[in-house]
Amino acid sequence: MKRKRIMIVEDEGITAMSIKSSLEETGYAVTAVVSTGKDAIKKAGSDRPDLVLMDIVLSGKMDGIEAARHIQSVLNIPVIYLTAFSDDEMINRIRETTPFGYIIKPFDERELRMTVEIALYKHDIEKKLRESERELKKHREQLAMLVEERTTELRSSYDLLKEEIDSRRTAEAETLRAGQLAALGELADGVAHEINNPINGIINYAQMLLNKSMPDSGDHDIASRIIKESDRIAHIVLKLRSISQKICLGSTRGLSSLNRSF
């Protein structure tokens, strides 16, 4: 198993060497021992340790809290504070950086090892949680993409189905209309046939009366009118039969002609 790597930031040489020895005896690897905040940030960026033990009061202008804030926010490396100070102002500044532990000097090796172990474990858990959240987000995005693709496919299928249904309805309507036109054509042809026979008889009888009557008589005039009106009816019957034939052939123009004629 790969050893966890820890960086020590401590401006007291004896304390730093004591911490280094204790950590190495426990099985940890010490990446560096530095005494300033500036060096801490630089070494943390180059070595990328798993944990930083950070003294708060350091040499130089930058204290441990400022250095820890940068290391945690930029490098996401957990920090444990080491300090001999515990006043309220200091505690409040420490809390703002959300450290993974806080040890008051002087401390014993057991306390140090327990705090380091807990901090590393907590950071590993948080790291795994973040990875799980990223993986979950990735799966959600993939699922959303699949849902969108499936929705698009379903919408396309729905449009095709709707188009097919509309086409079938149109075909059914045309078939029904054709049947109705055919029935109408047959009716028109039948009516024309039934009218045609008696009209021919009427014309023949009127012609007989016309032939027997005197030209200036009332019978002659009536017979002439009967023949004239009968011819008109015969002409209408002829049109009706012509239209019925067109209707039977499925021509809608026959229906229009029928409407215009009557």
Q: List, in order, residues 6 or more apart from 61 with CB less than 8 Å away.
A: 37
Instruction: Please tell me the predicted confidence (pLDDT) of residue 254.
Output: 46
Task: Write down the residue that tokens 């002829």 correspond to.
Answer: 238
Sheet architecture: strand order including 101-104: 29-34, 5-9, 51-55, 79-83, 101-104
191 to each of 49, 164, 232, how far by Cα in Å?
A: 106, 40, 16
Instruction: Please tell me the predicted confidence (pLDDT) of residue 249.
Output: 65
Instruction: Please tell me the predicted confidence (pLDDT) of residue 209.
Output: 81
Do the beta carbons of residue 28 and residue 3 sit within 8 Å? Answer: yes
Indicate the fold that domain 5-107 takes in CATH.
Answer: Rossmann fold (3.40.50)
The structure's pTM equals: 0.54
Do the beta carbons of residue 6 and residue 30 sit within 8 Å? Answer: yes
Q: List, in order, residues 6 or more apart from 207 with CB less than 8 Å away.
A: 223, 227
The identity of residue 209, as a single letter, is: L
Provide block-wise average pLDDT over 10 residues at a time, the chain (262 residues). 89 90 92 94 94 90 91 91 77 81 83 90 89 90 90 90 90 83 74 77 82 82 84 81 68 49 48
Instruction: Please tell me the predicted confidence (pLDDT) of residue 86.
Output: 67
